[in-house]
Structure 1
Amino acid sequence: MHTLLLLLAGIAFLMIVLEDVIHLNKAKSTLFLGTLAWLLLFLFPDQGVEAADIQLMLNENLLEIASLWLFLMAAMTFVAYLNHHGLIETLIYKFLPSRIGEKSLIFMVAIFSFIFSSLSDNITATLVSVALVLSLKLPPHKTLKFAVMVVFAVNSGGVSLITGDVTTLMIFLDNKVAIQDLLWLSLPSFVSVMLLASMLSFGLSGELLIDGGARTHDRVGMSIAIIFLATIISTILLNIIAGVPPVLTFLFGLSIMFLIGRFFHKQDSREDMLDYIRAIEFDTLLFFLGILLLVGMLKEIGVLDNLVTIYEVLPPIHANFVMGLLSSLVDNVPLTAALLKADPAMTEASWLSLTYAVGVGGSLLVIGSAAGIVAMSKVAEVTFISYLKYTLFLLIAYLVGYAGSLVIGDIVFG
């Protein structure tokens, strides 16, 4: 039975990698295989294992998944509202000058992608940033440079806030790092983004005219944008001060958004503010559900104990770096989930560097992160081969950022 369960997990991970080849959404395949695996655990338990024991295992896994799910649902609903009303687009063009050089623009795109990905999920941040790049109507080779910049900046921006990257959220929810310690990661992450922007700026010499058009926003929309920012800040402060779980603060902020929409918003084209829950990427949430069920199953049958062996062979500094490289080939969500379940013995400083590694390492290949996949699907110039042209630049930036995370770890926990 263990062999069959391992085979199911292997098929699931293969179908994730080949999603664009087999044209089957990874949410569907992982949810099917994840639930099937647990059904088999119940139907064919190991000798001496009762159904009640498996139920306890499942309940433990479902509690972890529910916390992650509800937090992401709340954050994604906020972003869905802001996107629908063009508030994000308005903000972008508000800060862009009407005339700007290409060299300056790539830095501005990098900074925007970095900051926005800290506040929203990587998929939304990439979609918005890529839409901005495509609106510039640059030559193909320059569009490719900007798209590469977006992918790296989005992945780098997400690692320092639990709202920005699901792997960061997973590591935090497992009590491996604290919110205030994660914030320090923004320093090496930002330095590496600026370094990549500097390298990519070579060959950019033109000047662009930016037509932002007439963009308006209402008071209610701006109020909800402020509530979103206040919710993020409150999540950090309340967790540090009183240990309040982030999911509770975010659900509270979401409830305020719903109440404002009910009593004050009269010109929404949707029937009800609750409709914005239906606008979020549920395929992403279902993918997380399926993959975390699979990884939970692998943990319960003892398979993940083998993953820790790399930490027995290599010191955590090197092992974490390798995990970052591996995340460019394997989706970082199952990789991080497997590491957390295996629970290698590491210091808080090492968990901090691992957070950076698995969050940013996926940028090295276009297939290594959700941001890369989105960019490849939206920008014709971005292909697996064309992206490889900038692998050396990306690797240098990743090395600098990872080294910075080690320095930060020594400073914070030294």
Structure 2
Amino acid sequence: MLSTVILGLVALAFVLIVIEDIIHVNKAKTTLFFGTLCWILAFIFPMNGATSADVSEQLNHNLLEIATLWLFLMSTMTFVAYLNSKGFISELVGRLLPAEFSERKLMFIIAGFSFVFSSFADNVTATLVSIAVISGIKMEAAKRVKYATLIIFAVNSGGVSLITGDVTTLMFFLAGKVTIANLLLLVIPAFFAVSVLALLLSRGMNEHFKIEKVRKPIAFADAVIAGIFVATIGSTLLMNILFDIPPVLTFLFGLGVMFLTYQFLLRKTTSKSILNYVREVEFETLLFFLGVLLLVGIMKEIGVLTHITKLYMNLEPVVANYLIGLTSALIDNVPLTAALLKADLVMPPNEWLMLTYATGVGGSILVIGSAAGIIAMSKVKELTFLTYFRMAGYLLFAYTLGYAGVYYFGQFAS
């Protein structure tokens, strides 16, 4: 009985997210309310003979995962908040972009940049930096939504082909389901799908942008902080691969280095504390993450996610994998991947590659289906669930095209 009630509350929470623009209630408020309510009900009415201690252990496990994500996001966002406030990112982008370019050319520049950058950096950082590029250019609201849509799809597509770019890809790799060599087969179909989406979204966009190349000097301290940011990203990937150090620990260390460096370099020239930039972090986004992950966590604990694996009993793996990708647009792909790995599915390497692509990219279909989407929604005010949903046809086509490409290239997996 309680499982039904919780599922109803989860469904209601997601409906309220969808109609946020109609009811004018912030999505962070609704998800946090329903997420905590579901867990409170789990304590008051324990299921399957569980005790309060059992539920508490389940909650603590979920909170640990959420806290890890929170701290990682806070660290990343603090770096970006500092560099944005100093105008470093906009100045750097201004120097890299040509003085004049078409809307279509910008679309492909954004596609390529987001795809490549997300292969080496985490999706959150790649999204923040890519959104910063379009934020500095004046354009119509509808066009900004198109660019943001492309960024979300490109970021998710770029991260799927390397273990450094996507958590679920790393999970499949560590479980021995895919190899580095096989994952590289995803690059061509994934990038082709992104390119096709860029082509579709750029239809009818014929205007030209002109950027006044007024170079502003970049302060030495800002350049040093940017270097620390880049070094933190690189060391996070390297330390995780070599020593299995959790990314959040390395990024918090990098944040500590940033604080100390700022204090040393600017102790005589400014009275503003570096900690003030932590206050500029979008905590509304973090609260939304908290609420969503609490909802997903309770769904996992009541056993809803395990039912998804029954797809493989009734459908061919090629079809089931495709549908799992669409499911990841509603359910966080990390617990979804964990449930699939625990189900001990038996598939050849090419089908595991298809599942890797599906779980990594399928979340792009809905804006709430991936971290990239949630971050973009918090940064681009024109981007809402409904405005993004209008692009669902393009996104579904690009996802299907990429999946078909993986089906072809997966034949060469060994």
Kindly indicate whether residue 97 of structure 2 is the aligned counterpart of residue 96 of structure 1. yes
When the two structures are superposed, what TM-score results if normalisation uses the length of structure 2? 0.79
1:342-382 per-position Cα deviation (integer Å, ceiling 9, x unaligned): 644346875654453344334446676437746873379x9
1:230-285 per-position Cα deviation (integer Å, ceiling 9, x unaligned): 11111222222222221111111111111111111359878221222222222222
Kindly indicate whether residue 157 of structure 2 is the aligned counterpart of residue 169 of structure 1. no
When the two structures are superposed, what TM-score results if normalisation uses the length of structure 1? 0.79
Kindly indicate whether residue 251 of structure 2 is the aligned counterpart of residue 250 of structure 1. yes
Cα 1:56–1:103 change in 2 (3 A) is closer
Kindly indicate whether residue 228 of structure 2 is the aligned counterpart of residue 218 of structure 1. no
The match for 1:340 among 338, 345, 369 is 338
CA contact (8 A) 2:376 2:383 kept: no
Indicate the residue corresponding to 2:306 in structure 1.
305
CA contact (8 A) 2:337 2:359 kept: no
Percentage of identical aligned residues: 44
Q: Distance in 1 between matches of 2:406 and 2:103?
A: 30
1:49-78 per-position Cα deviation (integer Å, ceiling 9, x unaligned): 222222222222222222222222222222
Cα 1:33–1:149 change in 2 (3 A) is closer
The match for 1:131 among 100, 118, 135 is 135
CA contact (8 A) 1:68 1:170 kept: no
Amino acid at match of 1:33: F
Cα 1:300–1:194 change in 2 (3 A) is closer
Cα 1:10–1:303 change in 2 (3 A) is same
Q: CA deviation at 1:83?
A: 1.6
CA contact (8 A) 2:164 2:237 kept: no
Amino acid at match of 1:156: S
Cα 1:142–1:28 change in 2 (3 A) is closer
SS at match of 2:101: strand
Cα 1:150–1:44 change in 2 (3 A) is closer
1:126-162 per-position Cα deviation (integer Å, ceiling 9, x unaligned): 6424324x42x57x88767655544433443454578
Q: CA deviation at 1:7?
A: 2.2
Cα 1:385–1:191 change in 2 (3 A) is closer
Indicate the residue corresponding to 1:38 in structure 2.
39
Q: CA RMSD, aligned part only?
A: 3.8
Q: Distance in 1 between matches of 2:161 and 2:273?
A: 33
Q: CA deviation at 1:226?
A: 1.4
What is the aligned residue count? 400
Kindly indicate whether residue 371 of structure 2 is the aligned counterpart of residue 378 of structure 1. no
Q: Distance in 1 between matches of 2:159 and 2:116?
A: 8
CA contact (8 A) 1:180 1:236 kept: no
Cα 1:299–1:142 change in 2 (3 A) is closer
Q: Distance in 2 between matches of 1:45 and 1:359?
A: 34
SS at match of 2:274: coil
Deviates more, 1:193-202 or 1:50-59: 193-202
Amino acid at match of 1:153: A
Q: Distance in 2 between matches of 1:353 and 1:268?
A: 55
Cα 1:247–1:52 change in 2 (3 A) is same
Q: Distance in 1 between matches of 2:264 and 2:337?
A: 46
Q: Distance in 2 between matches of 1:265 and 1:180?
A: 44
Indicate the residue corresponding to 1:8 in structure 2.
9
Q: Distance in 1 between matches of 2:19 and 2:282?
A: 20
Q: CA deviation at 1:341?
A: 4.6
Indicate the residue corresponding to 1:64 in structure 2.
65
Structure 2 counterparts to residues 328-367 of structure 1, below 5 A: 330=330, 333=332, 336-338=334-336, 340-341=338-339, 343-346=342-345, 353-364=354-365
Indicate the residue corresponding to 1:53 in structure 2.
54
Cα 1:19–1:186 change in 2 (3 A) is farther
1:186-233 per-position Cα deviation (integer Å, ceiling 9, x unaligned): 554333323333455566666543223233311121112111111111
Deviates more, 1:30-39 or 1:401-410: 401-410
Cα 1:410–1:239 change in 2 (3 A) is farther
Indicate the residue corresponding to 1:259 in structure 2.
260
Q: Distance in 2 between matches of 1:282 and 1:181?
A: 39
Q: Distance in 1 between matches of 2:182 and 2:292?
A: 25
Structure 2 counterparts to residues 377-396 of structure 1, below 5 A: 377-378=381-382, 383=387, 387=391, 391-392=393-394, 394-396=395-397
Amino acid at match of 2:56: Q
Indicate the residue corresponding to 1:110 in structure 2.
111
User: Gaps spanning 5+ residues in structure 1: where?
Assistant: none
Cα 1:356–1:281 change in 2 (3 A) is farther
1:299-320 per-position Cα deviation (integer Å, ceiling 9, x unaligned): 2222332222223223443223
Kindly indicate whether residue 196 of structure 2 is the aligned counterpart of residue 195 of structure 1. yes
SS at match of 1:111: helix
Q: Distance in 1 between matches of 2:291 and 2:74?
A: 16
CA contact (8 A) 2:103 2:207 kept: yes
Cα 1:404–1:282 change in 2 (3 A) is farther
Q: Distance in 2 between matches of 1:223 and 1:190?
A: 33
CA contact (8 A) 2:75 2:251 kept: yes
Q: CA deviation at 1:291?
A: 2.2
Q: Distance in 2 between matches of 1:409 and 1:365?
A: 26
Q: Distance in 2 between matches of 1:264 and 1:163?
A: 32
